A and B are shown apart, each in its own frame.
Chain A
Amino acid sequence: MKAFIHAVTFCSVITLNTGPALSQEDRLQVVASFSIIGDLAAQVGGDLIDLKVLVGPNGDTHVYEPKPSDARALAQAEVVLTNGLQFEGFLDRLVEASGTTASVTVLSDGARIVQDPAGGHYHFVDGEAIFHAEPNDPHPWHSVANAKIYVENIAKAFCAADADDCAHYQANATAYQNELTALDLEVSEAISAIPEKDRVVVVAHNAFRYFEDAYGLRFLAPVGVSTESEASAADVAGLIREMRDQKASAVFAENISDSRLVEQIASEAGHPLGGVLYSDALSGPDGPAATYVEMMRTNVRTITTAIAAHH
């Protein structure tokens, strides 16, 4: 960024969220790995940043294959924002391929992290079980409290790369975090209003453990935390048994996954499909989850509506 731009915009620091209008090349060059943190970055950076999101709306980051154009974007980036927790399996090789010198910020640093309940897996060597730790659950943003930590980390990253505009970023972050505080309360109240006995639902892949941890809604899922793994028939049969045992109230599809598996599960369990939850990606700009805040509100609305319809 050019210094003269900052001098003339000083007066707007306190009062404007978006900062001054800059030409594209004068903006802080930011790459966000996927759409949800892309929106968080946009909230903090406003017009001061030029943002490229690698995995766009409704995209599945778990299985994303980066393109040469992504490598070019990384090579030009001043800040690279990632989730971490092995969510972006493609990232290390993309960073290496790009030769980027940008700082790579892991936004989940400092967030409250939930471990995979299994904690890893065993394999057996010469009759002896050897434990290999599995990664932590990589979907912290489904707790709004964690999203606030992401925002804090984004502001720090932007300040480190563009100290002259730090006050802008901090002001934007503070305002947005206030909005998120209200959202957190809103989600909490909406889930609390669901009778406790009805707070078990089913989703295609278990991306909502943090939502469960933060708000008390239990999610059952036929597959693990990554969409790369496929559910076996035994997994599905076991899930349907568990649904019946726990009197699950609703079954949801996900915007990033093929819905046929959960449609099958819903059908076998005697439920209508309760709608689509936005798990690992936002909707397109014209969809109901174009921003993080809209995503959380849409998910809550979908959940509460489906559970209410079940009774």
Chain B
Amino acid sequence: MKKLVLGTSILAMSASLGVSSALAEEDGVELTAWRLFVADHAAPVVHVIDALDGDELAEFDISEPAMILSSGSSGEAVYAVQPTGNVVNVITSGISFHDHGDHADIDVEDPALSEAAFTGEYPVHFVEHDGHFAVFFDQEGVARVFEEHEAIEGHVETREVASGAPHHGVAVPLGQYDLISAPNPDDPGALPIGIKTLDQSGVQVGDLAACPDLHGEATSGDTLVFACATGLLVVKGGGMSAPNIEHLPYSDSLPDGKSTTVIGGRGLQYFLGNFGADKVVLIDPSETDAFRLVELPTRRVHFVVDPIRARYAYIFTEDGELRQLDVISGELTNSIQLTDPYSMDGSWSDPRPRIAVAGDNIVVSDPLAGKLHLVNAEDFTESGEIEVEGVPFNIVAIGGTGISHEGEDHDHEHGDEAHDHDHEDHDHEDDHEHDHEDDHDHDD
């Protein structure tokens, strides 16, 4: 791997690594670290790249190409989901934060491939809620639930949640309850028909929440949604008591269509979903008119929310442009040409660009050109490129700024938070997404 160009914003970010930018905080110094975890589309490998200088920090061999790359709220681990390899590998990011209210401490260590791995037949949907993770294994119809700290430590005890039959499903652990998709009884190969709430002994609580053609799930703040053919299931509560699930139908103002991929806003509570090939929809379930349609100039390839600049989300379109969406006004406010066209004709699984946000930069993979494009999020200009061998595809960005005590032995009394990270398939503890354009597409 080799740096081609690093623009001024990257150089500025690099400067913050040094003690010269130290922020006085007891005996610590301010430190910024960002890492890019990049899965190859064709080869079973995950590259770890320092986003600040473009250097490759590590390369991890896995079983099969990671069709989904994801991370949890802590940012301490990256999960390489390999459906055809029947495994989910765990890579520790080497970056961890410890919240102290008015600031966060940062620890930076080497990334590593954990001994922990989750095996089962055809894992796809990967969901975190409040530090509890659920991997759904489609060909078993079973989800395995685990806690991240165990995965990082390399010894994992999983709890199984059964849906009743193999299908393309999803499960979400919600405190003392689990939400799990209900397979179509007439055709297990079809999309699920709704969501069941199970207690921890696996007994269903309440009625099935109908959600025909369920596909796509996201959380923003205290609200979880599932996308259905008819609208969204909006889930609130959960924990000690069973969650409240309500159906929010698509508004009459929308054209025919449905969302099959949704992501949750960060900093602002909203959802962004696909809606047909060349549209997205902004969703605020608390509003009377919950849906705002945004038409795109061409078909959509990928979209993410900005976890740092809450006002913006980004959409890559098949004409090779990255577009900035102002989620407050609901308008496309900026765009930049980054790559040659990536037509959405052909297979859903063809290598096409993916987006992640790493601090001041938006990172876009360019699989066929073998590089990552860096776009300054403030002025929306290209700030650099990083060459990556192979076919760089899914990206997870992890990092942020904290106070470093330079590797000294820490003993913290509080949990972690107060940092930013962004990743391909979901964002943060209360904002995870599943972008199924990574593995399949039910949109068209």
Interface residues, chain A, with chain B CB atoms under 8 Å away: 63, 65-72, 75, 90, 93-94, 96-99, 120-128, 130-135, 258, 260
Residue pair A97, B100 in contact (C-beta under 8 Å) = no
Also in contact, A124 and B101, with CB within 8 A (given A97-B267, A258-B240): no
Contact B311 A97 (CB under 8 A): yes
Asked whether A96 lies within 8 Å of B405 as measured between CB atoms, the reply is no
Q: State whether B411 touches A123 (Cβ < 8 A).
A: yes
**Which single residue of chain A is at the shortest CB-CB distance from B239?**
A258
Can you give 20 contacting A-B residue pairs, CB < 8 Å? Answer: A66-B267, A66-B268, A70-B268, A71-B328, A72-B328, A93-B267, A93-B310, A97-B268, A97-B328, A98-B328, A120-B101, A121-B414, A123-B105, A123-B413, A125-B26, A131-B26, A134-B102, A135-B102, A258-B240, A258-B241
Given A66-B268, A67-B287, A68-B284; A124-B411 close (CB under 8 Å): yes
A65 pairs with B98, CB closer than 8 A: no
Is A67 a contact partner of B284 (Cβ separation < 8 A)? yes
Which residue of the partner chain B has the closest CB to A260? B240
- Alpha-carbon separation in the docked complex, A126 to B405 (Å): 9
Taking a contact as CB atoms under 8 Å apart, the answer to whether B102 and A132 are in contact is yes
**Contact between B412 and A68, CB atoms less than 8 A apart:** no
Find the A residue at minimum CB distance from B414.
A121
Question: Could you say which residues of chain B place their CB within 8 Å of the CB of A123?
Answer: 98, 100, 105, 410-414
Question: B20 interface residue, CB < 8 Å from A?
Answer: no
Interface size class of B (residues with CB under 8 A): 35 or more
Query: Judging by beta carbons under 8 Å apart, are A130 and B221 in contact?
Result: no
Give Cα A291 to B234, complex, Å. 31
Note all chain A residues with C-beta closer than 8 A to B267. Answer: 66, 90, 93-94, 97
Q: Separation in Å of the A174 CB from the closest CB of chain B?
A: 37
Partner of B220, one of A65, A69, A94: A65
Shortest Cβ-Cβ A-B pairs, 4 listed: A65-B221, A65-B269, A124-B411, A126-B408
**B252 in contact (CB, < 8 A):** no
B98, chain A: closest CB distance, angstroms: 7
- Name B222's contact: one of A63, A69, A122, A131 (CB within 8 Å): A63
Chain B nearest CB, measured from A294 CB (Å): 26
With A and B bound together, what is the CA distance between A122 and B284 in angstroms?
40
B187 on the A face (CB < 8 A):
no
Residue of A nearest to B417 (CB): A228
Q: How far is the CA of A70 from the CA of B98 in the complex (A)?
A: 30
Q: Are B269 and A66 interface neighbours, CB within 8 A? A: yes
Contacts of A63 in B (CB 8 A): 222
Q: B279 at the A/B interface (Cβ < 8 Å)?
A: no
Measured in the bound complex, the distance between the Cα atoms of B268 and A258 in whole Å is 24
Q: Give the distance in Å from the alpha carbon of A200 to the alpha carbon of B430 in the complex.
A: 37
Tell me the smallest distance from the CB of B320 to a CB of chain A, in Å.
28
A122 / chain B contacts, CB cutoff of 8 Å = 413
A68 touches B413 (CB 8 A): no
Known contacts A132-B102, A133-B102; is-contact A67 B269 (Cβ 8 Å): yes
Q: Known A63-B222, A71-B328; judge A121-B286 contact (CB<8 A).
A: no
In the complex, the answer to whether A97 meets B309 with C-beta atoms within 8 Å is yes
Is B291 an interface position by the 8 A CB rule?
Answer: no
Q: A68-B265, A123-B414 are in contact. List 14 more A-B contacts (CB 8 A).
A: A65-B221, A65-B268, A65-B269, A66-B269, A67-B270, A68-B327, A93-B310, A122-B413, A123-B411, A128-B27, A132-B102, A132-B103, A134-B102, A135-B101
Smallest beta-carbon distance A118→chain B, Å: 11
A133 to B414, CA, bound (A): 13
A83 → B minimal CB distance (Å): 17
Q: Which of B26, B311, B430 contacts A130 (CB 8 A)?
A: B26
B408 touching A125, Cβ below 8 Å: yes
Known A65-B269, A72-B328; contact A125-B413, beta-carbon cutoff 8 A:
no
Let me know if A67 and B410 touch, CB within 8 A. no
Do A125 and B405 have beta carbons less than 8 Å apart? yes
Q: Are A130 and B27 interface neighbours, CB within 8 A? A: yes
A77 CB to nearest chain B CB (Å): 14
B268 touches A68 (CB 8 A): yes
Q: Is the CB of B410 within 8 A of A68?
A: no
A134 and B311 contacting across the interface, CB-CB below 8 Å: no
A95 and B268 alpha carbons, distance in the complex (Å): 11
Q: How far is the CB of A112 from chain B (nearest CB, A)?
A: 22
Interface residues as binary, B237-277 with A (CB distance below 8 Å gives 1, 0 otherwise)? 00111000000000000000000000001011110000000
Whether the pair A125, B268 counts as a contact (CB closer than 8 A) is no
Q: Could you tell me if A71 and B413 are in contact, using CB atoms closer than 8 angstroms?
A: no
Contact B310 A97 (CB under 8 A): yes
Within 8 A of A (CB), among B27-70: 27-28
B356 within 8 A of A: no
Q: How far is the CA of A134 from the CA of B270 in the complex (A)?
A: 31
Considering only CB atoms, which chain B residue lies closest to A120 in the complex?
B101
Q: Is the CB of A134 within 8 A of B222?
A: no
CB distance from A231 to the nearest CB of B (A): 12
